[in-house]
Structures are given as C-alpha cells and as structure tokens.
DNA sequence: CAAAACAATGTACAACGTACAAGGTCGTAC
DNA sequence: GTACGACCTTGTACGTTGTACATTGTTTTG
C-alpha cells in the first residue's frame, strides 16, 4: 500500500496510522525493509541497494518491496533518517561551546566515515524524519551560550555539518594513498601529466605536491580536517563578542 | 579510438598526440563532443547528458560518441575541466588576502550556481586537467601574504571551495521557497509533521522555523552564505596572527 | 594495388526502477 | 455462512541506461 513518506518516517510514533487489519499479515515490516537496506548499503554502498536485491535479501519479490516503501527515493530518505536515529550523539556534559561544537563536528564526520553512503543521499525530505529532527535538536544545543540568534544558530550548525561532509568526502577516496587520485592511476598518469605541465604553474605544482606528500605521509591523515575545523571554530568564536 | 583521459584532457596542448591520419576524418572532435555535453548539462542537468542524446545532438550515432571520449565517466571529467577553464577567475589587483579569498569563494559559488551540475560531478581525476590546474594555481595566489605553509595553504583553499559547494547545494533546492522542502510538499506534509511533533523538540522547532522563515523572506536569500563565508575568513585570519 | 588504421554504425545485453494486472488471503458486514 | 472488499504478493513487461562486439566504409601508407 505504501503510506506517505511522512507516515513511514514516523511509523513508530503512537499516532502513526497502523495498517488496516484486513488482508493477510505482511511478511516483513517497513522497519525490516529499511534495516535490510542499511545492511546492503553498509557493506557495498548505495549502488548495492537495488529493489531486486533488497527483495531477495528479505525473501520477497522485488515488487513486494513497494508494499512497504513507495519508491526507491523514499527508501533512501528512510535509510538516512534511520542512520541519524542510530547515530550516537555526542555528550556535552559541562563543556564549553567550543568543545561541544567540536564534538558535534567529530561525531558527524565519524558517522559519515562509517556510513559513507550517506554522502550520496541528497534528499531534502530527510529533514521530515524523527531521527533527523532529534539529531538537529541535540546539535543545536551545542551553541548555547554563544549569543547567536536563531537564524545564525541554524547557519552555524549547517556550516559545521557541511564541513564534516566535505572532509568525509575527501577521506573516502583511495584509503591509503594521499593524492586524491589513486596510487596506480598516479603511477600511470603522473609521468604523462608531468610532461604536459612542464614548468607551468609552479605554485600549483609546489603546493599540490606538498599537500599530496603530506596526505601520503602516515603522520597526518586528518591534518586538513583538524585545520579546517579549528579555523571554523575560530570563526564562530569571533561572534561570541 | 578514445585516447587516455589525460591525453584527452590536454588535447589542446602542443605535445598532445594528434590522431593518426589514417582513416576518414572524424566528423566531430572531442572538443565538440564536450561542448555539446556542456550544452545538455547546462540546460537540463547531468541527467540530460546521456550517450544517445549526445550522439543525436551531434548528428552521430550513440556508439560513435565512444570514438571521442572513452566512457561517460571520462566525459564528465572532461566537462568539469572545460567548465573550470571557462570560468572567469577573480581578479586580485592590489587587494588584501581577505578580499582575494572572498572573491575566490564568490566566484566559485557563482560558477556552481550557474552550472549546478558541477555539484554532481565527483571524480578525483578532474585534478588532472589543465583547466582545473590553472584554476588551482590562480586561486592559491589569494593566500599570498597570509604566512601559510604549503600544506596549510592547500587546506585553506579546500576549505573555501568546500564552503562554496555546500552553499550552492542549498541554493539549488526549490528556488523560491525557503524551507529546504518545496512549498507544495510543505503544505501537504507540514500539518502531518506538526501532529507528530507536538511539543517535542521545542528548540529544533523554534530554530528551524526561524531559519525557514528567514530563507523564505526575500530579504536575505544568501544570508547564511555571507555568514558562513565571513566566519571562515575570520578563522583564516587567526592564522595571520 | 593491397594492407593497415581509423571512423561510424546496428545489434544486443545486462541492469535498473516501476506500472499494471492477476491471484491469494484475511477480516468484516449482512 | 457467505459475499464483499481490503490488503499482500507476484510475474510479466516497458522504457531507459551504459557499453561490448562485430561489421562496414573510408582514407592513408607500404
């Protein structure tokens, strides 16, 4: 039947419309469908989440999946919200705003590293879900005491989350090798590229080389991350007077 | 025949391998293929760029496209590099680093708003292209005089570009209405969502409502953008002591 | 003139999301 | 008790995608 997306997102809410008890009991629940989809995505990325595979994984036919989710796009929203709900939100304790904000950013980055497929879900309707809203509510509290009005507070949180996303995007490239391009690709194309480049763009060559080497060095894989985060936090601190 | 991606990216370079003069002259060039693909993407997004449509647009068959590009993924890299090459890079003049960096960020945001499909191209091999490298080289100069070492300079630029990307991502939602969710969707789902939410998460409801209203107001569509950019620039300034 | 190199094409395949119609199964109203 | 209607499940089928492969046609080179 496929209830509306909002009803599916809030399916655990007391007031959510339960399915009428008329026909045969469905063999799987929407929650189980979403859980199976999470399994697939966690193991092989979003590309692994096809309606057919999902059905096979659940022991039902491909088309039966549509009894529980409506469409694949809806499913992705349900998955993202479930991931947000399962994410362990950072504890704030009595820490100051800077520490709290850092924890928010770190937690989001960790989540995006663990579930890289979240980077590929780009659907606005995710904000309608209970998991996403609860996460939003909690993370907004990190800015308590910074003296931001509501609009600025939302913008600040968005800034932090976007930063985490960007960092996670970079981090999911070829794991070992630094230069954003894979090692084997670099070995194959580096020489040719060098021939084309010659002495042109010396600044780009120097900085790019240094950045690549730094990322390749085992020392600081997340150096750029720390740098960017502290810079953004510095920027936010300029607001607190 | 489809030369390697690097050779295709540098096809205008003097030393690039010209096609052997054996068979019949090809009816279109790689450059024309890329240009046609840019047309399609500019008008209807990346989804419009299918191999068949591209061929039809060029007056050749679908499979003939592969004579000039190798694969659709390669084509996307070529398109992104061409876009970077066509982008008008900000002039720096005698401006200070902060102004220069602001211009870099603004120029990138403008580019991403004009060619939103660039947000959907996520291929590391783009850095191999001449347009991308020239852009990188130019933008690195914005940080001259800030006292950053090479690694930090690369990280700072990445931070700025990621910021522009994030902002452009938000801006390409439903154009008119503020709340990231479209107007009609909000009208349909807002009430139901309110029923589920009730009095829960008052902070999220207040801040989210304020942020949505602010975005809906014609006053400050890019308010969040200015905010985030100045915050990041503040953060960078904490490096220049 | 023959051979090799190249461009262009048509056909075909596997995979995708999902519309549609049919069949099965249960609770409910008469 | 029986008929209705709601509900789950399924198979088949359509349109679309990227692209592998074999073939045909064209041009330069030996």
Q: Which carries the bigger pLDDT value, residue A12 or residue B171? A: A12
- Contact call for residues B33 and B70 (beta carbons, < 8 A): no
- d(CA B237, CA B241) in angstroms, rounded, equals 7
B52 touches strand D (CB under 7 A): yes
Nucleotide nearest to A62 (CA to C1'): D10
Residue A1 Cβ < 7 Å to strand D: yes
Whether residue A38 is found in the same domain as residue A103:
no
Say if residue A147's pLDDT is above 60: yes
pLDDT of the residue at B1: 55
Give A77-109 pLDDT, tens digit per residue: 999 999 999 999 999 999 999 999 999 999 999
Question: CA–CA separation, B190 vs B184, rounded Å?
Answer: 10
In strand C, the nucleotides that come within 7 Å of a protein beta carbon are 4-11, 15-21, 24-28
Q: Which of A19, A48, A83 is where one domain is finished?
A: A83
Calculate the CA dihedral of residues B221, B226, B227, B231 and round it to 10 degrees.
160
The number of distinct structural domains making up chain B is: 3
Q: How far is A59 from chain B (nearest CA, A)?
A: 32
Residue A219 has pLDDT above 60, yes or no: no
* Per-residue pLDDT at A222: 79
Pick out the nucleotide with least CA–C1' distance to B47. D17
The predicted structure's pLDDT at residue A183: 61
Q: What is the residue-level pLDDT of chain B in tens, covering all 241 positions?
A: 568 999 999 999 999 988 778 889 999 999 999 999 999 999 999 999 999 999 999 999 999 999 999 999 999 999 999 999 999 999 999 999 999 999 999 999 999 999 999 999 999 999 999 999 999 999 999 999 898 999 999 999 999 999 999 999 988 875 544 445 556 667 777 788 999 999 999 999 999 999 988 877 655 557 889 989 999 999 999 876 5
Residue A100 to residue A97: CA distance in whole angstroms = 5
Closest amino acid to nucleotide D17 (CA–C1'): B50
Length of chain A: 241
One domain for residues B76 and B92: no
Average pLDDT value for residue range A40-62: 97
Residues B137 and B94 in one domain: yes
**Do the Cβ atoms of B182 and A158 come within 8 Å?**
no
Long-range CB pairs of B25-31, under 8 A, 24+ apart, other chains included:
B26/B67, B26/B68, B27/B59, B27/B60, B27/B64, B28/B58, B28/B59, B28/B60, B28/B68, B29/B68, B30/B68, B30/B69, B30/B78
Rounded distance, CA A209 to CA B59, Å?
Answer: 43
Query: How many angstroms separate the CA atoms of A225 and B155, rounded?
Result: 8
Q: Mean pLDDT over all residues of chain A?
A: 90
- A146 and A227 housed in the same domain: yes
In angstroms, the first-to-last Cα distance of chain A is: 55
Cβ of B235 within 8 Å of Cβ of A239? The answer is: no
CB atoms < 10 A from the CB of B75, how many? 23
Same domain membership, residue B67 and residue B52: yes
In this structure, the answer to whether residues A104 and A130 fall within a common structural domain is yes
Nearest protein residue by Cα to C1' of nucleotide C20: A63
What confidence tier does A212 reach under pLDDT thresholds 50, 70, 90? Answer: confident
**% of chain A beyond a pLDDT of 90:** 74
Ranking A56-60, A132-136, B66-70, B221-225 by mean pLDDT, the lowest is: B221-225
Q: Are A117 and A230 in the same domain? A: yes
Full residue range of the structural domain in which residue B208 is found: 183-215
- Output the distance from A63 CA to D11 C1' rounded to whole Å: 10
Q: Please check whether residues B112 and B198 belong to one and the same domain.
A: no
**Which nucleotide in the DNA or RNA is closest to residue A68, CA to C1'?**
D8
Put simply, the answer to whether A201 touches B128 (Cβ < 8 Å) is no
Residue with tokens 């370079």: B13
Phi and psi at residue B226, in whole multiples of 5°?
-55, -45
Which of A128-137, A223-232, B190-199 has the highest mean predicted lDDT (pLDDT)?
A: A128-137
* Burial of B183: CB neighbours in 10 Å, binned 0-12, 13-18, 19+: middle
Give yes or no: residues A11 and A71 share one domain.
yes
Q: What integer pLDDT is reported at residue B239 of this predicted model?
A: 78
Of all residues in chain A, the one with the smallest CA distance to B133 is: A204
The answer to whether the CB atoms of A208 and B233 lie below 8 A apart is no
Structure token pair of residue B32: 């024309």
- Both B12 and B62 in a single domain? yes
Return the closest nucleotide (C1') to the Cα of A19.
Answer: D7
pLDDT of residue B212: 86
Residues B150 and B233 in one domain: yes
* Contact criterion met (CB below 8 Å) for A153 and B231: no
Q: What is the pLDDT of residue A159?
A: 92
Question: Domain boundary residue among B31, B62, B83?
Answer: B83
The closest CB to that of B133, out of A165, A189, A201, belongs to A201
Which has the closest alpha carbon to B228: A154, A168, A112? A154
Q: How far is B120 from chain A (nearest CA, A)?
A: 10
Among all chains, which residue has been given the structure tokens 């029923």?
B195
Chain B hits for A236, CB-CB cut-off 8 Å, are 231
**Does at least one atom of strand D sit less than 7 Å from the CB of B53?**
yes
A159-202 pLDDT per residue, tens: 999 999 999 998 887 554 444 555 666 777 778 899 999 999 99
Partner residue opposite A181 with nearest CB, options B127, B196, B214: B127
Which CATH number does the domain housing residue B14 bear? Answer: 1.10.10.60
* Whether A24 CB is under 7 Å from strand D: yes
Cβ A182 vs Cβ A174: under 8 Å:
yes
> Which pLDDT score, from 0 to 100, does residue B176 have?
43
Q: Which residue in A16, A151, A185 is closest to B214 by CB distance?
A: A151
Query: What separation in angstroms does the CA of B185 have from each of A127, B87, B209?
Result: 12, 35, 16
Predicted pLDDT of residue A176: 43
Question: Strand D: which positions are within 7 A of a protein CB?
Answer: 5-12, 16-22, 25-29
Contact (CB, 8 A) for B196 and A15? yes
Give CA separation, A176 vs A117, A183, A217, B14, B32, in Å. 19, 8, 10, 35, 37
Which residues fall within 8 angstroms of residue B92, CB to CB, at 6 or more apart? B100, B103, B141, B142
- Domain boundary residue among A50, A83, A116? A83
A142 with A192, same domain: the answer is no
């Amino acid at each position: 039947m496929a209830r509306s997306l909002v009803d599916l997102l809030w399916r655990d809410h007391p007031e959510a419309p339960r399915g009428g008890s008329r026909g045969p009991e469905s063999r799987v629940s929407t929650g189980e469908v979403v859980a199976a989809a999470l399994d697939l995505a966690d193991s092989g990325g979003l590309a692994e989440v096809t309606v057919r595979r999902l059905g096979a994984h659940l022991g039902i036919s491909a088309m039966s999946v549509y009894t529980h989710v409506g469409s694949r796009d809806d499913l992705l929203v349900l998955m993202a919200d479930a991931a947000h709900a399962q994410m362990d939100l950072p504890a704030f304790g009595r820490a100051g705003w800077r520490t709290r904000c850092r924890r928010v950013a770190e937690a989001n980055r960790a989540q995006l590293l663990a579930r890289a497929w979240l980077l590929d879900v780009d659907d606005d309707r995710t904000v309608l879900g209970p998991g996403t809203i609860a996460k939003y509510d909690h993370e907004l509290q990190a800015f308590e005491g910074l003296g931001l009005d509501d609009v600025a507070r939302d913008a600040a949180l968005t800034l932090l989350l976007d930063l985490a996303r960007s960092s996670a995007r970079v981090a999911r490239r070829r794991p070992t090798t630094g230069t954003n391009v894979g090692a084997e690709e670099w070995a194959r194309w580096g020489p040719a590229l060098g021939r084309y480049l010659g002495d042109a763009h010396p600044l780009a060559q120097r900085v790019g080389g240094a950045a690549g080497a730094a990322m390749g060095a085992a020392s600081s894989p997340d150096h750029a991350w720390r740098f960017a985060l502290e810079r953004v936090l510095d920027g936010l601190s300029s607001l607190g007077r």
